[in-house]
Amino acid sequence: MYHCHKFKADEIYRLAENELYTSRFLSIGFCPKCKKPVAEILEFRFDGEVNKEIFSGIDANTIMLCHAEEILCSLTHQNYKKTKSKPYGWVYGINKQLKNGKIKQYAADFYGNKELIKTC
């Protein structure tokens, strides 16, 4: 997103399709420089054209309220759910030795998720 300068969106929502557009996204965030709310609508048409509109201030709040009933899912919520479960993606092993001589083997990923595999 771009307002005073380029920054990442706080939330990205996928909107329902309509008669003109196949893929629609609503990105919202706050500009770190001027602290205004910023909304960006990105829509892809059937014929390949891309429509991008940026709103800030009160207009951004109005756009978010107008498109609230069209929201299908939050993409940032899906990404958060994917990484906060069992180990995902590249997995490595961790061996922990207990005081009684037993060893616990864990599978861990780079997101901080761990799962106990076995105890020997």
What is the per-residue pLDDT across 23-51, written as a single tens digit (0 to 9) for each? Answer: 899 998 888 888 888 999 999 988 889 99
Query: How far, in Å, CA of 58 to CA of 37, rounded?
Result: 8
- Ramachandran angles phi, psi of 13, nearest 5°: -110, 140
The residue behind tokens 């602290």 is 35
30 vs 38: CA distance, rounded Å = 6
Residue pLDDT, tens place only, 68-109: 888 888 876 555 555 566 777 778 888 999 989 899 999 988
> CA–CA separation, 15 vs 30, rounded Å?
20
